[in-house]
Amino acid sequence: MSHELTSSIDTAQVVLYFFWIFFAGLIVWLRREDRREGYPLETDNLALVGPQNALRIPAPKEFLLPHDEGIRMAPDFIRDNREILAERVSKATGYPIEPTGEPLLSGVGPASFAERSEHPELSQEDGGPVIVPMRVATAFTVDAGPDPRGWEVVGADGAVAGVISDIWVDRADLMVRYLEVELTAAPAAEGDAAAPTKQVRLIPLPMLGLDGKAKRVSVRALRADQFVHVPTTQSPDRISLREEDRVAAFYTGGWFYAEPRRREPVL
């Protein structure tokens, strides 16, 4: 009897069936795991949260964050409740949204950013901030290329926005991340004896160009008058992960929103 049963079994076919079952289970597992963030989805117009289907959404996992930032659950179903400074051009589904007010500060489109950690990136060696100005990282010197400190910063309109006052370096990757610009002080009003406050902003290195002959820094993403709106840091000597995203988003948005003609199609 046992001989008749085993003789009718095709080993290759059994292995194939097991592979199909395994592969189907793998697809289901992968589709559940990729829903740990960004789910449940919201409708395009009404921002209604979709049903939390237990078969599609996996059970929460605990992730221990570095540098004593606690534990994060994923999925945690915490929605992004930031006010959207834009409105849809039409009520129909799929239409784009247009910023309301200052587009560079709208947080939508190319100027959008994620709400990352409010802590700076910390070094694995000494636990200190990784990105700091050279006035803090005194062991760093400029030995590759020109030192732009003291150079004027020129915007897309050709006007001077300020002067480079310092260089922010990445102590872990040994590279320059930002240039710090001290904005040109606005002229004081008549009868106002108060001294102008020092205003500094950061410029991400990929968003600028160095002109060694003219000894100036050009930033095509923004006009000179728009530098005052660049997001600032809470600390003068460190930058958090969220602040990094906000600064980068502002300059990136400038390539599209800084001037009205940039939003028009190019033929």
Question: Is the backbone peptide bond immediately before 75 cis, with ω within 30 degrees of 0?
Answer: yes
Cα gap 113→7, rounded to integer Å: 64
- How much is the average pLDDT of 203-223? 93
**DSSP code, position 242:** H
Q: Three-class SS of residue 76?
A: coil
Cα gap 65→76, rounded to integer Å: 15
- pLDDT digits over 155-208, tens only? 999 999 999 999 999 999 889 999 999 998 654 445 555 545 689 999 999 999
Cα gap 261→254, rounded to integer Å: 12
Average pLDDT, the chain: 85
Q: Which residue has the higher pLDDT, 50 or 96?
A: 96
- pLDDT digits over 59-116, tens only? 888 988 877 788 888 888 777 778 888 888 887 777 888 888 888 888 888 999 988 8
For a pLDDT cut of 70, what percent of the chain falls above it? 86
Q: Tell which phi-psi region holds residue 191, choosing left (phi > 0), alpha (psi between -120 and 50) or beta.
A: left
Q: Three-class SS of residue 141?
A: coil
pLDDT for 260? 83
